Homo-oligomer: A and B are copies of this chain.
Amino acid sequence: MSGPAAPVQAAPPRPVRFGILGCADIARKVSRALLMLPPGAATVAAVGSRSEDKARRFIAETGLPAARPHGSYESLLGDADVEAVYLPLPTSLHVPWATAAAARGKHLLLEKPTALCAADLDAILAACDASGVQFMDTTMWIHNPRTAKMRDIVADKDAFGDIRVIHSMCGFQASEYFLQNDIRVKPDLDALGVLGDVGWYSIRSILWAVEYELPETVIAHRHPVKNQAGVILACGATLYWADGKTATFNCSFLTNLAFDVTVYGTHGTLHVTDLVIPYEEKYAEFSVASKSNFVKPTIGWDPLPTKHVVTTDLPQEALMVQEFSRLVQNIRDAGGRPEGKWPAITRKTQVVLDAVKASIDKGSEPVEVAS
C-alpha cells in the first residue's frame, strides 16, 4: 500500500533527568506528572530518601522502574546522572538541601513554601545564581492555561479597568490525623503552618492579579488560630498598595475546601472558585462580568456575567514540569540563561508572606513590605 511519505521528524530532545529528593505525598503527584509528558521532556533518573527501602517502595508504587534508589539525600545529590532536583522536603530542610543541590549544579524545582523567610530563600536563590541553574517553585496553577486566559482578561483596561479590590480564601478541613501529625502543623518542620501551605496560594494569587506589584503594607487580622505548638492553623490579612488598591485573604486548615479568588476592577469582575486545584483535572472555568449594568428599574443585570471554560490535555502539574524541563533543556542544549521570572515571583510571594507573619507575630501591627 502506497501513501504519503512519513514526514522526517527531528530527533526528540534529550529528556531532563530528574532526581526526586524525598518521598513526600506530593512527590507522587509530581512523579505522575513527569510520567505524563511527551517523549523527550523529562525522566525520573533517581529517587532519594532517608532509607533505600523507602526509595525503592516509592519507585515501585509510582511506576518509575528506570529510577535508581538512593538511601540518603547526599547520595542522590552525588548522582552525576541527575540534572535536576525536585525537592519536596519539609520547609525547614530547604536551605541546606536546596543550596547543596544548586552547588552540585542541579536545576531546582522547589516545593512551596520555598523557605521559612525571604532571607532563607535568598540563600537558595544565590546558590542557584552562582551555579547558573534554573529555579522554579511548585505553584502548579500558574501553569494552567486558565491562568493565562484570566491574565488576558484582568489586564484588559477597557473591559476590566483598574483593579481596586481582591479577595482570596484558600483552605481545607484538615483531618484530626493531619492536625496531630502532618509536617504542616509541626514548628520544627513547616513552621509557617497554613500561611505557608494554602496561604502561599492566596498571596500568590493576589500578586498574580496585580502583575506582581508589591503592596506597601500588610496588616494581619487579629486572633489567628494556632495549635499548642504555636503553628498557625487559620489566619487572614489585609494588603494595601500605594495607589489605594486593597486585598484581603484568609487561609485555613479548619474550613471546607476553598480556593477562591475574586478580582474587582473598575469595569470588570473575575470570579474563580477552584484556582489551586480545578474541580476537574482537564477542564477549568471562571466567570467574568464586564461593564455590568442594571435592567431598569434595577430588576436584573445587563449584560450578564459570562462563563469561560478552558480545557487542557495535560494537567497543570504536568505543564509545570514540562515548562521547567524546557527551560533546563534551553540552558543545557542551547546555551540559554536561567529564566529569571520564576525566582522573581517566588521571592515576591515570600516577601509578602514574611510581612504577614511579622504582623501576626506583632499582634496585627501594620508591617511594611520589604522590597
Q: Tell me the A residues contacting B by CB distance below 8 Å.
A: 25-26, 28-29, 32, 161, 164-165, 167, 169, 171-173, 217, 219, 221-223, 225, 234, 236, 238, 240, 244, 246, 248, 250, 252, 254-258, 260, 262, 264-269, 271, 273-274, 277-281, 287, 289-295, 297-301, 304-305, 315, 366
Q: Which 10 A-B pairs have the closest CB atoms?
A: A257-B292, A29-B297, A248-B248, A255-B264, A279-B301, A281-B299, A256-B269, A165-B250, A164-B255, A28-B297
Residues of B within 8 A of A248 (CB): 167, 221, 236, 238, 248, 250
Asked whether, in the complex, the Cβ of B252 is within 8 Å of the Cβ of A258, the reply is no
Residues of B within 8 A of A29 (CB): 297-299
Task: Report how far A298 CA is from B33 CA in the complex, Å.
Answer: 12
Residues of B within 8 A of A300 (CB): 277-281
| A280 → chain B closest CB, angstroms | 5
Task: Report how far A287 CA is from B291 CA in the complex, Å.
Answer: 23
Please report whether the interface of chain A is mostly helix, strand, loop or mixed according to DSSP: strand
Asked whether, in the complex, the Cβ of B250 is within 8 Å of the Cβ of A277, the reply is no
Task: State the copy count for this chain.
Answer: 2
Asked whether, in the complex, the Cβ of B257 is within 8 Å of the Cβ of A260, the reply is no
Question: Chain B: which residue is nearest A173 at the CB level?
Answer: B266
Asked whether, in the complex, the Cβ of B266 is within 8 Å of the Cβ of A244, the reply is no
Asked whether, in the complex, the Cβ of A171 is within 8 Å of the Cβ of B264, the reply is yes
Residues of B within 8 A of A265 (CB): 255-256
Question: Which of B28, B257, B305 is in CB contact (< 8 Å) with A289?
Answer: B257
Residue from A161, A265, A273 with most neighbouring chain B CB atoms (10 Å): A273
Task: Report how far A271 CA is from B286 CA in the complex, Å.
Answer: 13
Q: A165-B236, A221-B238, A265-B255 are in contact. Are A25 and B297 (CB under 8 A)?
A: yes
Q: List 19 A-B contacts (CB under 8 A).
A: A29-B297, A164-B254, A167-B250, A169-B262, A221-B246, A221-B248, A223-B246, A250-B264, A254-B266, A256-B266, A256-B289, A256-B290, A257-B289, A260-B262, A277-B301, A279-B301, A279-B305, A280-B300, A299-B315
Residues of B within 8 A of A254 (CB): 164, 266
Asked whether, in the complex, the Cβ of B299 is within 8 Å of the Cβ of A277, the reply is yes
Asked whether, in the complex, the Cβ of B301 is within 8 Å of the Cβ of A274, the reply is yes
Asked whether, in the complex, the Cβ of B273 is within 8 Å of the Cβ of A264, the reply is no
Task: Report how far A26 CA is from B294 CA in the complex, Å.
Answer: 13
Task: Report how far A236 CA is from B245 CA in the complex, Å.
Answer: 11
Q: A223-B244, A244-B223, A273-B271 are in contact. Are A257 and B173 (CB under 8 A)?
A: no
